[in-house]
């Protein structure tokens, strides 16, 4: 049976600067979807690449004293290096400076001109160079670009225009008839209400004020403007040609989904579909405008000094841990938050405790009790069925979630099985079964079930954490790694021996990691150009010498904290009066807690373990002298103490008597 084709793309990265982790998220997200589709049997074509023309790039190259081509070669190389570094499995990396792309773009422009969908005129308006976009006066925000906040300049030049207005009603009908064409739903409403209902203005598609672009073949001095050039990559990359497309194009088009940032949704859901309608080419099945990855509460920006890059994160956390965080902690429709603290917490709880601990414990017990040899699973009990049924149902749950691009929910299905497997260890207590010879066959069954559950989880994790899956397969010593093998709970081979257990994810010391990152960030800051006086240098030298002596003394001390340090933390009893889920974060609860005579709002990451109803009325232990912070836009004025076990289960710390709220905990 022939595999069903599946074509998926990222937006092509603009080659003005090195991509940060927010840009990298898009490549990792698209890769996970592509890998998943391959696993379940699709013939996938995954395309990514770089957008390399435009005035902004020409100006940057001039400032650098190099040619535009040299500039884009450098940045395109960096983009590809980062995509490879993050283990993305793209099938084609297209560049808009590729000769075959440029040739087809010229043909597309000429075809649209010849049939009257592109016409020549004069543009008079307001232009933003960083965004390479034109705006009307009414679209500006305080007289500045509504997208990036830059100053705009009045521009008058001869240009060609694409007749967007001609296709306004047809596009509106297509969106209404195909409710999943634009996802998430909120993005669709934005396009309809803000652009289509007011009526589209024709789009400027050529420029004469710069020359770094694809020349209009029939009018010297005009270059193709960015959107006809860049958007066409989705079809030129797989063999579209107005004079006769290739077999590859006919096989993979229409695209199943374009994965793009929400900030370029208008270009992909209005300009691009109208171009295709004019070319009489079928529209893509879906455009998914993913949210932004924020640093705390802010969008990443060099001017704000909060830009984070993939290689820095991987240096401290590893490729698969970063992939896990990006894929699991980004909401479907709202902006996600990245902080080093949250990454460390996720690694320690989900990766080290739940996943790593399960694999390590199981292999260690198999080695200890049976010298690593896998025994049969013939001595079954009722408790086994719950684990096995969950394992067999999980693949279909994942497919259903991934069909809606709910990547985080898809991964949660795997972690549900991992947590159930950890619970199965506590229920069956292999260490007790090992004490008596008569229970050894039952012990063999228990360990077989654990190994098989781990094998299945490793297969289901491959699209998201491919390196980790390979490590697990090696440790449990299996070559049964196909999605088809998930149909039965019998992939581990009786009589084989497991491999050597190794730590998949070590628990991280948050304080030490944060100190190392801070030290690196400080070292990478631009050095001061002001020269210090000799006296200043002498004083600094003396201070460094003193500090070094102090540091050496500290290293010889134990890592215990002093009683004074402990007394700095103010623990009090608080009573939960109100509790609700955070509107923008599924894992956060917002509690109103009475602490003595005041009421504090505290945001806690405990929603996976407690419903709001279960929290109301509890007397909890609260740290009340933490500096207030905002978590996903909500003020948090303290911390609820909680404990977690190796299986990732969590319990808030409560008092066992009715103690007055505000009472000191010591």
State which CATH number among 1.10.730.10, 3.50.90.10, 3.20.20.150, 3.30.1360.40 fits the domain covering 339-487: 1.10.730.10
Tokens of 224: 């193709």
Q: What is the DSSP string of 422-465?
A: HHHHHHH-HHHHTTSGGGHHHHHHHHHHHHHHHHHHHHHHTTT-
- Give CA–CA dist 226/284, Å, rounded: 20
pLDDT band of 658, cuts 50, 70, 90:
confident
- Does the N-terminal peptide bond of residue 174 adopt cis geometry, omega within 30 degrees of 0? no
Please give the distance of CA 83 from its chain centroid, rounded to a whole number: 13
Per the prediction, the chain carries an average pLDDT of: 88
Q: What average pLDDT does this structure show over 68-89?
A: 96
pLDDT band of 318, cuts 50, 70, 90:
very high
- Give CA–CA dist 479/483, Å, rounded: 12
CATH code, residues 566-665: 2.40.50.140
SS3 content of the chain, % helix, strand, coil (to 5): 45, 20, 35
Phi then psi dihedrals of residue 89, to 5 deg: -105, 45
| pLDDT value at residue 291 | 84
| pLDDT value at residue 540 | 41
Per-residue CA distances from 180 to 176, 246, 297 (Å): 9, 28, 30
| pLDDT value at residue 566 | 63
| pLDDT value at residue 548 | 40
For residues 482 and 567, which has the higher predicted lDDT (pLDDT)? 482
- Does the N-terminal peptide bond of residue 184 adopt cis geometry, omega within 30 degrees of 0? yes
Q: What average pLDDT does this structure show over 509-535?
A: 71
| pLDDT value at residue 251 | 97
For residues 583 and 380, which has the higher predicted lDDT (pLDDT)? 380
DSSP character at residue 151: B
| pLDDT value at residue 588 | 84
Q: What average pLDDT does this structure show over 458-484?
A: 98
Task: Name the pairing type of β-strands 598-604 and 585-595.
Answer: antiparallel
Residue 556 has pLDDT above 50, yes or no: no
For residues 200 and 431, which has the higher predicted lDDT (pLDDT)? 431
Counts of helices then strands in the chain (DSSP H, E): 24, 26
pLDDT band of 114, cuts 50, 70, 90:
very high
Nearest to 342 by CA among 294, 305, 309: 294
- Kindly report which listed range (83-97, 241-255, 497-511, 644-658) carries the lowest average pLDDT score: 644-658
For residues 509 and 135, which has the higher predicted lDDT (pLDDT)? 509
- Over residues 398-428, the pLDDT tens digits come to 999 999 999 999 999 999 999 999 999 999 9
Q: Where are the domains of the chain?
A: 5-299, 339-487, 566-665
Q: Which fold would CATH assign to domain 5-299?
A: Rossmann fold (3.40.50)
Q: What average pLDDT does this structure show over 621-642?
A: 83
Confirm if 384 and 445 have CB atoms less than 8 A apart.
yes
CB neighbourhood size of 368 (10 A): 12
Nearest to 200 by CA among 101, 250, 267: 267
| pLDDT value at residue 664 | 79
Of the ranges 26-35, 289-298, 536-545, 572-581, the best mean pLDDT one:
26-35
Residue 513 has pLDDT above 60, yes or no: yes
- Give CA–CA dist 652/642, Å, rounded: 4
- 382-403 and 21-39 helices, crossing angle to 10°: 120
Confirm if 19 and 82 have CB atoms less than 8 A apart.
yes
| pLDDT value at residue 399 | 98
Q: What is the DSSP string of 358-398?
A: HHHHHHHHHHHHHTTBPPP--S--HHHHHHHHHHHHHHHHH
pLDDT band of 524, cuts 50, 70, 90:
confident
Residue 564 has pLDDT above 90, yes or no: no
Residue 530 has pLDDT above 90, yes or no: no
- Over residues 187-196, the pLDDT tens digits come to 888 888 888 8
Residue 79 has pLDDT above 90, yes or no: yes
pLDDT band of 105, cuts 50, 70, 90:
very high
């Amino acid at each position: 049976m022939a595999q069903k084709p599946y074509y998926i793309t990222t937006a092509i990265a603009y080659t003005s600067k090195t991509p940060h982790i927010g840009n990298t998220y898009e490549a990792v997200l698209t890769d996970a979807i592509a890998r998943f589709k391959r696993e379940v049997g699709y013939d996938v074509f995954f395309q990514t690449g770089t957008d390399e023309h435009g005035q902004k790039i020409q100006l940057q190259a001039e400032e650098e004293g190099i040619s535009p081509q040299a500039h884009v070669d450098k940045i395109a190389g960096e983009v590809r290096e980062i995509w490879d570094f993050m283990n993305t499995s793209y099938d084609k990396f297209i560049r808009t400076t590729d000769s075959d792309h440029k040739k087809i773009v010229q043909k597309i422009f000429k075809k649209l001109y010849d049939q009257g969908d592109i016409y020549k005129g004069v543009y008079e308006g307001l232009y933003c160079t960083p965004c390479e976009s034109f705006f009307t006066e009414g679209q500006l925000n305080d007289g500045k670009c509504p997208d990036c906040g830059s100053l705009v300049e009045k521009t008058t030049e001869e240009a060609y225009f694409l007749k967007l207005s001609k296709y306004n009603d047809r596009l509106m009908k297509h969106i209404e008839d195909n409710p999943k064409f634009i996802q998430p739903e909120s993005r669709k409403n934005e396009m309809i209400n803000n652009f289509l209902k007011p009526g589209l203005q024709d789009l400027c598609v050529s420029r004469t004020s710069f020359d770094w672009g694809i020349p209009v073949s029939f009018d010297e001095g005009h270059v193709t403007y960015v959107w006809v050039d860049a958007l066409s990559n989705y079809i030129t990359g797989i063999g579209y040609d107005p004079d006769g497309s290739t077999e590859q194009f006919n096989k993979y088009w229409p695209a199943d989904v374009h994965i793009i940032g929400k900030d370029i949704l208008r270009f992909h859901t209005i300009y691009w579909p109208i171009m295709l309608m004019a070319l009489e080419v079928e529209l893509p099945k879906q455009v998914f405008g993913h949210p932004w990855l924020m640093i705390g509460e802010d969008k990443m920006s060099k001017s704000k000094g909060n830009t984070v890059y993939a290689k820095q994160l991987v240096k401290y956390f590893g490729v698969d841990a970063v992939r896990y965080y990006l894929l699991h902690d980004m909401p479907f429709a709202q902006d996600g938050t990245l902080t080093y603290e949250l990454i460390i917490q996720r690694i320690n709880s989900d990766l080290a405790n739940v996943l790593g601990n399960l694999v390590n414990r199981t292999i260690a017990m198999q080695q200890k009790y049976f010298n690593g040899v896998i025994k049969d699973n013939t001595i079954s009990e009722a408790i086994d069925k719950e684990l096995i049924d969950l394992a067999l149902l999980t693949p279909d749950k994942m497919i259903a979630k991934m069909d809606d691009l709910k990547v985080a929910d898809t991964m949660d299905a795997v972690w549900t099985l991992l947590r159930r497997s950890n619970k199965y260890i506590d229920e069956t207590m292999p260490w007790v079964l090992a004490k008596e010879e008569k229970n050894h066959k039952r012990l063999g069954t228990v360990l077989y079930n654990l190994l098989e559950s781990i094998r299945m989880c490793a297969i289901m994790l491959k699209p998201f954490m491919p390196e980790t899956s390979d490590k697990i397969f090696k440790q449990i010593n299996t070559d049964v790694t196909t999605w088809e093998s998930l149909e039965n709970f019998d992939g581990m081979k009786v009589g084989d021996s497991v491999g050597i257990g190794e730590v998949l994810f070590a628990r991280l010391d948050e304080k030490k990691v944060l100190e190392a990152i801070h030290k690196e960030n400080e070292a990478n800051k631009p050095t001061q150009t002001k020269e210090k006086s000799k006296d200043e240098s002498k004083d600094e030298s003396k201070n460094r010498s003193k500090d070094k002596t102090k540091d050496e003394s500290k290293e010889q001390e134990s890592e215990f904290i002093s009683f004074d340090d402990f007394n700095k933390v103010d623990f009090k009893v608080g009573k939960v009066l109100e509790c609700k889920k955070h509107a923008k974060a599924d894992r956060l609860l917002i509690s109103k807690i009475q602490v003595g005579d005041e009421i504090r709002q505290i945001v806690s990451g405990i929603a996976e373990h407690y419903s709001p109803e279960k929290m109301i009325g509890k007397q909890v232990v609260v740290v009340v002298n933490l500096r207030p912070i905002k978590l996903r836009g909500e003020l948090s004025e303290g911390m609820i103490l909680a404990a977690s076990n190796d299986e990732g289960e969590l319990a808030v710390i409560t008092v066992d008597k009715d103690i007055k709220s505000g009472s000191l905990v010591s």
